[in-house]
Amino acid sequence: MQRLGGPIHLLVNPAAGGGRAGHSIDRAYAALRTVGPVELVESTCAGDERRLAAEAHQARARALVVLGGDGSLSHAARGLIAARSATPLCVFAAGTGNDFAKSLGVPAHNFLAMARRLEAGTVRSIDAGEIDGVTFINAAGFGFDVDVLQRMREPRRRPLLRGTPRYVVTALQQLFRYSGLHATVPVLRDGASSHWLTVVFANGQWFGGAFHIAPAAHVSDGTLDLVGIADASPLTRAGLFARALRGKHLSHRAVHTQRGTAFVITFVEPPHFQADGELHQASGPSVSVRCLPQALRVVG
């Protein structure tokens, strides 16, 4: 295992959380300085966190502390996982949804508390997932959530809402517009082709900033939780939407779940998918998803 002796790397995405991360740098730096030497690095473009994480690994950083949101954390985690790094990831939440922090169950908004956990060596290994070759740490999926993210990318003259509120409002609008998804999910419904509202593979419990999509998921159990929601009438969709906000949707007859280590889902043509809220297009109509057990070390 990599021997760690370098300073703590504080990785900041200044734009995260509508600028919240940039405004929190001094507080984060002060909290970490009570633990040891700190090297401050800032991302300069989307996805730059992966490069900076690789540099933290090369420097044998004591920890990589990410001050930002879920996107920054996901890219940083990909860098550490690709390097098979022993450097632990520490979450200083400064994003909008902070789904991964909620799934970890750590006091990520309390920088001093997280610094104390780092000082105490409270580190554990957690799983990640891989979908069509793309690593994710919280959730990935097809269908409705992809449609919502695509709609959010559409240019608007005056977007009055940002972050989670914008996601929820856009999701409410698309509940009555989205045409559904045709896919074959062999572990569900005896493999018959079905019409789905969404199919999610969850390592963590939360996504979209507000949805408790997989209440039974655990980041360290060596599996992913598949949550498939069959397409339904607009009224039923609305009810499922409300239930998912509270994690009460799993008992509905339209919801199908399965826990496993590897899955294959087949489409008519290469689908778009989201991995930790980032949009991708699959390389082919058959998409493989698998769990990567104990892939990442985290503080907390």
Q: Residue 1 pLDDT more than 60?
A: no
Two tokens, residue 189: 């419904």
Does residue 289 have a pLDDT over 70?
yes
Residue 77 identity: A
The highest-confidence range among 18-27, 93-102, 130-139, 193-202, by mean pLDDT, is 130-139
Output the CATH code of domain 135-293: 2.60.200.40
What topology does CATH give the domain 8-121? Rossmann fold (3.40.50)
The predicted structure's pLDDT at residue 156: 61
pLDDT at 95: 78
Residue 166 identity: R
pLDDT reported for residue 149:
83
Each residue's pLDDT tens digit, 7-65: 999 999 877 766 777 789 999 999 999 999 999 999 988 889 999 999 999 999 999 99
Q: Give the start-to-end residue ranges of the domains of the chain.
A: 8-121, 135-293
Query: Which of 83, 119, 115, 121 lies closest to 1, judged by CA?
Result: 83
pTM assigned to the model: 0.92
Amino acid in the structure at residue 183? A
- The answer on pLDDT for 155 being more than 80 is no
Query: What mean pLDDT is predicted for residues 194-219?
Result: 94
Q: What pLDDT is attached to residue 204? A: 97
Write down the pLDDT at residue 254: 92
User: What's the chain's length in residues?
Assistant: 300
Listed ranges 123-137, 181-195, 228-242; the one with the highest mean pLDDT: 123-137
Decide: 173 and 206 in contact? Cβ < 8 Å: no
Of all helices (H) and strands (E), which one includes residue 49?
helix 48-58
pLDDT band at 158 (very low <50, low <70, confident <90, very high): very low
pLDDT at 234 over 90: no
In 24-113, where do the E strands start and end? 38-42, 64-68, 89-93
Tell me: pLDDT of 198 over 80: yes
Measure CA 229 to chain center. Answer: 19
Residue 153's pLDDT is 73
- How far from the centroid of its chain's Cα atoms is residue 189's Cα? 27
Q: What is the pLDDT of residue 15?
A: 72
Rounded distance between C-alpha atoms, residue 101 and residue 132, angstroms: 25
DSSP state of 205: S
At 103 the three-state DSSP class reads helix
Pair 212, 205: CB distance under 8 Å: yes
Higher-confidence residue of 151 and 219: namely: 219
Hey, do 8-121 and 135-293 end up sharing a CATH topology, with the first three levels equal? no
Long-range interactions of 34-38: CB distance < 8 A, separation 24+: 34/112, 34/115, 34/119, 35/8, 35/115, 35/116, 35/118, 35/119, 36/7, 36/8, 36/62, 36/119, 37/7, 37/8, 38/7, 38/8, 38/9, 38/10
Task: Tell me the average pLDDT of the chain.
Answer: 90
Q: Helix-strand-coil percent breakdown of the chain, rounded to 5?
A: 30, 30, 35
Average pLDDT over residues 106-114: 97
Q: What angle do CA 195, 130, 211 make, to 5 degrees?
A: 55
